[in-house]
Structures are given as structure tokens and as C-alpha cells.
Structure 1
Amino acid sequence: MTTASPEAQRRTRAFARVIGPYVATFTTIYAIRLPELQGLTGDLFGQPGLMLMLGAMMLAAGLVIIGGHRSWRGPLAVTVSLFGWFVAVRGFLLITTPATIRSGVDATMLSPTAMTVARIFFAALAVMGLVMTYAGWFTGRRAQETVTASAPRKA
């Protein structure tokens, strides 16, 4: 199996630098404050225009990631690509079936077991965000040095 081109690797790290801290920050907050957010979700779903705009922004953000990141070589690249698809699908579902999404959120908020599972899920996503942050910010130099060191020198 061939490796991704240096340009694809740089693009993957660039996406990871943005997505990683965002995911780590917000999913940590969600994992900690999830029980407090029950009223907020009711208010959010009670405003159809806001749900439409949120879904449209999520769909657009997901499509930007999908369109700008076309590499599926390596675990980091797969994670970035899957995140783009996940955001795009969520945005599409918020636009097309907000009532279904709301019923799922309400069921999760009312069940202590589902709430615990959701908090563990968000904590796992936070760890994934930290890994993406590390890979995006701190692995580029080593990879670039390896490529430079292995490149044939011109006389």
C-alpha cells in the first residue's frame, strides 16, 4: 500500500490542527455539563429557524472537510475524513428530520443509563480530539524531516 503524498499529509495535519482542538474542547464540556444542557436542547429544538440554520452550517462545514480533504491513507486521514462525513450527515439530518433528532436527544436526556453512555461517548471523542491535536501540531516536523532526510540529494 502506498503512502499519501507529502501534500496530502500536510493537508491532513492542517485539518487535524483545526478539528482536534475544537472536538477536544466541546466534547469535554459536553461530557462534564451534559445534565445541565437539558433546558438548552429544548430551547434549541423549539426554534425551527435556528435548527435549519444550524443544520445548514453543519452540512456546509462537513462538505468543506469532505471536499478539501480527499485522503484516506493512514489513521489520522481516515479520522479527519470520517469526521467530515459525520458532520455533513448530522447537518443533513437536522435539516430534514429535526423531530427525529429531538426525540433521540430527549430520550437520552431522560434515561440515566443513556446519559452515562453519552458522557462516556463524549469523553472518548475528547480523547480523539486530543490525539488529532497532537498529530496535527506536533508530528509534522518529524514527518517532514524524515521525508527530507530520505530524499536523494542533488550534486
Structure 2
Amino acid sequence: MPSTDSAAQERTRAYARVIGPYVAVFTAVIAVRLPDLAGLTGDLFAQPLMVWMLGALMLAGGLTVIGGHRHWRGPLAVAVSLFGWFVALRGLALIAAPGAMEAGVQATMDSPAALAAARVFFGALALVGVLLAWGGWSPRRAAPAPGGAAR
């Protein structure tokens, strides 16, 4: 029977296997295509129901990660937990203050410096996604046998 710590590590790896590739692909595409997405964000915020539904789904998804992953030991576990909190808080912001979110997006899209900073930020997030995917999909190292000597 696996120990509690071992079960928590396996749960972390399972979350990282899903979250890592998603974050890597999605944020890499955003980093490359961000200037082209101005029309898309304008269309999204023009439909309050879509903003509400997106916020509700993000809040639910973030709370699912928060509730299912309560392990904070190690960089992989911290990254998974922070992802859950980040998504939940963004979802809450979309349903509680959509106007502020829209203003922030518009200010970023209107400023060349902010747009460049956002592209660098999303590129860095893509690297975090790659690291999460690597941590989730890489083979586990064999644990030493009880008593100290590996067999």
C-alpha cells in the first residue's frame, strides 16, 4: 500500500501530466499570436454571458485543482497548486469584475511595451508548462529499499 506522501506525489504527477502540456501549448500560442487576438478579446467582452460562463468554468476548474491537490512539497507540487489558485482567482475576477478585466486587457493591447511584456510573460509560462509536463511524464526514480540498500 503506498504511503500518504507517495500518493500525494503521484497525484501531483497526474495533475502535472495534464496541466503541463495544456499550459505549454496554450501560452506558447498566445505568446506568438497575442497581437492578433485583440479582436477576439473584444468579441468576448461584448458578450456578457460568454464572460460569465468562462469565469464560472475557470472558477470551477481552479477549485477542482485546489480541492484535489493539497500538496505543497517540492517545486512541481507548488506549481500545480499555484496554477489552481491562479485559474480560480481569474475566474472569480471575470464574474465579479468583468469591466476591470476588460480594461486591463485593452490597456495591454493598446501599449506596445505592455504587449511585449505580456508576450514575454506568456513565453515564460510556456516554459513552466514544459517543466510541468516533463515532471509529470518523466519516469520516476526507484526509491531505495527499506533498510537503506537498494536491491
Q: How many residues align?
A: 145
Distance in 1 between residues matched to 2:58 and 2:146, nearest whole Å = 41
The corresponding residue for 1:71 is 71
The corresponding residue for 1:84 is 84
Distance in 1 between residues matched to 2:21 and 2:108, nearest whole Å = 26
- 1:49-64 map, 5 Å: 49-64=49-64
TM-score by length of 2: 0.93
- 1:17-32 map, 5 Å: 17-32=17-32
In structure 2, the residue corresponding to 1:40 is in which secondary structure?
helix
Compute the displacement of 1:151 (Å): 2.8
Instruction: Calculate the aligned-residue CA RMSD, in Å.
Output: 1.3
Distance in 1 between residues matched to 2:138 and 2:53, nearest whole Å = 35
Residues 94-149 of structure 1 show CA distances to partners (whole Å, capped at 9, x for unaligned) of 0010000000000000000000000000000000000000000004x21xx12xx3
- 1:1-155 map, 5 Å: 5-139=5-139, 141-142=140-141, 145-146=142-143, 149-152=144-147
Structure 1 runs (4+) deviating above 3 angstroms are: none
Compute the displacement of 1:84 (Å): 0.2
Compute the displacement of 1:66 (Å): 0.2
Distance in 1 between residues matched to 2:132 and 2:18, nearest whole Å = 9
Letter in 1 for 2:106: D
Distance in 1 between residues matched to 2:91 and 2:39, nearest whole Å = 21
Sequence identity percentage? 59
Letter in 1 for 2:146: A
Q: Which structure carries more helix by proportion?
A: 1
Structure 2 runs not aligned, ≥5 long: none
TM-score by length of 1: 0.91
Letter in 1 for 2:145: S
Structure 1 runs not aligned, ≥5 long: none
